[in-house]
């Protein structure tokens, strides 16, 4: 079985200040990802941690949905769209049950195996949800807004997969 590696720099500055929803970019994140075992989630085989780097060793999946859609410029067959959407929803349901939001759903992060199996990948910007440490409405509302964005994005990409044309050019 082939492997793919991703090299991360522990302790690198984060894009945003730390909040209740921490980006999953450190050793804890790698441990969390190692616990995700599902047919529609790319499998993390190993974690190699040195003083300078953190290397994540994933299963190798040949192509992503973006490349797959490029091979079908007129759009995908409705049966393929249904199959991919079903698999995507299964993967999302699995991570949402574990209080993880992906936050970067796009065709490049949806891998397609040689057997047509769709796998969610690239959890670098994922966050834990439901961790409310405050009674402030703003904290709870942020989680709901992020979750809603993920669902809306999924709808746009489903239409794009079927028609071969982006729904909102330049927006996604």
From the list 153, 148, 164, the residue with the least C-alpha distance to 81 is 164
Please give, one letter per residue, the 3-state secondary structure of 50-114: CCCCEEEEEECCCEEHHHHHHCCCCCCCHHHHHHHHHHHHHHHHHHHHCCEECCCCCHHHEEECC
Instruction: Find the catalytic residue in 70, 79, 104, 122.
Output: 104
* 104 counts as catalytic: yes
Q: Which two tokens stand for residue 79?
A: 């049966």
In angstroms, the CA 38 to CA 63 distance is 19
Nearest to 106 by CA among 124, 90, 87, 121: 121
Catalytic residues: 104
């Amino acid at each position: 079985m082939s492997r793919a590696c991703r090299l991360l720099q522990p302790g690198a500055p984060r894009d945003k200040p730390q909040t209740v929803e921490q980006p999953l970019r450190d050793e804890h994140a790698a441990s969390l990802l190692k616990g995700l075992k599902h047919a529609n989630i790319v499998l993390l085989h190993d974690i190699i941690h040195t003083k300078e780097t953190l290397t994540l060793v994933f299963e190798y999946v040949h192509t992503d949905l973006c490349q797959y859609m490029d091979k079908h410029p007129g759009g995908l067959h409705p049966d393929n769209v249904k199959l991919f959407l079903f698999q995507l929803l299964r993967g999302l349901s699995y991570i949402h049950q574990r209080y993880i939001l992906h936050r970067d759903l796009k065709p490049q992060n949806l891998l397609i195996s040689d057997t047509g199996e769709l796998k969610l990948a690239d959890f670098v910007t994922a966050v834990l949800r439901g961790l409310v440490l405050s009674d402030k409405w703003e904290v709870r509302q942020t989680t709901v807004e992020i979750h809603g964005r993920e669902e809306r994005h999924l709808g746009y990409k489903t239409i794009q997969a079927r028609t071969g044309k982006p729904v909102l050019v330049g927006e996604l």
